[in-house]
A = this chain, B = another copy of it.
Amino acid sequence: MNQDRHKILTESIKRLLRRNAIPHLSKIMNKTHAADLSRIFQSLSLSHQHKLFDLIKDIEKKGILFSEMDEDTFLYFIADMKIEDIVAILEYMPSDDVADIIERLPEDKADLILKTMKKKESEEVEDLLRYGDDTAGRIMVPDFIALREDHTAQQAIESLQKEYVDVEMPFYLYVVDEYGKLTGVSSLRQLVVVSPDTPLKEFMSTAVFSVRTDTDQEEVAKLVARYDILAVPVVDHMNKLVGIVTVDDVIDIIREEATEDILKMVGAGQEFVETKSVFKSTKIRFPWLFASCLGGIIAFFIIGHFEKSLSKVTYLAAFIPVIMGMGGNIGTQSSTIVVRGLSTGLLHVRDIWSVVFKELSIGMLLGLIYGSLIGIVAQLQYNLPAFAVSVSIAVITSMSVAALVGSMVPMIFGRLNIDPAVASGPFVTTFIDIIAVFCYFQIATLLLEL
Do A300 and B377 have beta carbons less than 8 Å apart? yes
B-contacting 9-mer, from A83-91, A136-144, A232-240, A289-297:
A289-297
Do A336 and B268 have beta carbons less than 8 Å apart? yes
- In the complex, which residues of chain B have a beta carbon less than 8 angstroms from the beta carbon of A310? 314, 317
Name the residue among A189, A366, A373, A433 with the largest chain B CB count within 10 angstroms. Answer: A366
Known: A247-B251, A251-B250. A271 touches B317 (CB 8 A): no
Instruction: Say yes or no for A361: interface residue by CB 8 A criterion.
Output: yes
In whole Å, how far is A329's beta carbon from the nearest beta carbon of chain B? 5
Contact of A321 among B258, B320, B373 (CB under 8 A): B320
Tell me, in angstroms, the Cα distance from A324 to B365 when the chains sit together: 25
Residue-by-residue, is A208-231 near B (CB-CB < 8 Å gives 1, otherwise 0)?
Answer: 000000000000000011111110
In whole Å, how far is A97's beta carbon from the nearest beta carbon of chain B? 11
Contact of A286 among B35, B268, B315, B369 (CB under 8 A): B369
B-contacting 9-mer, from A71-79, A109-117, A339-347:
A339-347
Instruction: Say yes or no for A318: interface residue by CB 8 A criterion.
Output: yes
How many copies of this chain does one complex carry? Answer: 2
Instruction: Say yes or no for A197: interface residue by CB 8 A criterion.
Output: no
Do B272 and A341 have beta carbons less than 8 Å apart? yes
Do A329 and B299 have beta carbons less than 8 Å apart? no
Known: A247-B247, A286-B366, A303-B318. A292 touches B340 (CB 8 A): no
Majority SS at the chain A contact face: helix
- In the complex, which residues of chain B have a beta carbon less than 8 angstroms from the beta carbon of A350? 3, 7
Tell me, in angstroms, the Cα distance from A229 to B326 when the chains sit together: 45
Do A319 and B337 have beta carbons less than 8 Å apart? no
Instruction: Say yes or no for A45: interface residue by CB 8 A criterion.
Output: no
B-contacting 9-mer, from A126-134, A151-159, A177-185, A259-267:
A259-267
Contact of A285 among B268, B304, B330, B341 (CB under 8 A): B330
Known: A254-B251, A348-B3. A321 touches B336 (CB 8 A): no
Total interface residues on A, CB under 8 Å, equals 97
Contact of A340 among B227, B259, B332, B346 (CB under 8 A): B259
Instruction: Say yes or no for A186: interface residue by CB 8 A criterion.
Output: no
| Chain A 345-377 interface residues, beta-carbon cutoff 8 Å to B | 346, 348-350, 358, 361-362, 365-366, 369-370, 373-374, 377
Residue-by-residue, is A80-103 near B (CB-CB < 8 Å gives 1, otherwise 0)?
Answer: 000000000000000000000000
- In the complex, which residues of chain B have a beta carbon less than 8 angstroms from the beta carbon of A263? 336-337, 340
Name the residue among A266, A301, A377, A433 with the largest chain B CB count within 10 angstroms. Answer: A266
- In the complex, which residues of chain B have a beta carbon less than 8 angstroms from the beta carbon of A278? 358, 361-362, 365
Do A289 and B255 have beta carbons less than 8 Å apart? no
- In the complex, which residues of chain B have a beta carbon less than 8 angstroms from the beta carbon of A300? 318-319, 321-322, 377
In whole Å, how far is A233's beta carbon from the nearest beta carbon of chain B? 16
In whole Å, how far is A21's beta carbon from the nearest beta carbon of chain B? 21
Instruction: Say yes or no for A47: interface residue by CB 8 A criterion.
Output: no
- In the complex, which residues of chain B have a beta carbon less than 8 angstroms from the beta carbon of A361? 278
Instruction: Say yes or no for A404: interface residue by CB 8 A criterion.
Output: no
| Chain A 403-450 interface residues, beta-carbon cutoff 8 Å to B | 429, 433, 437
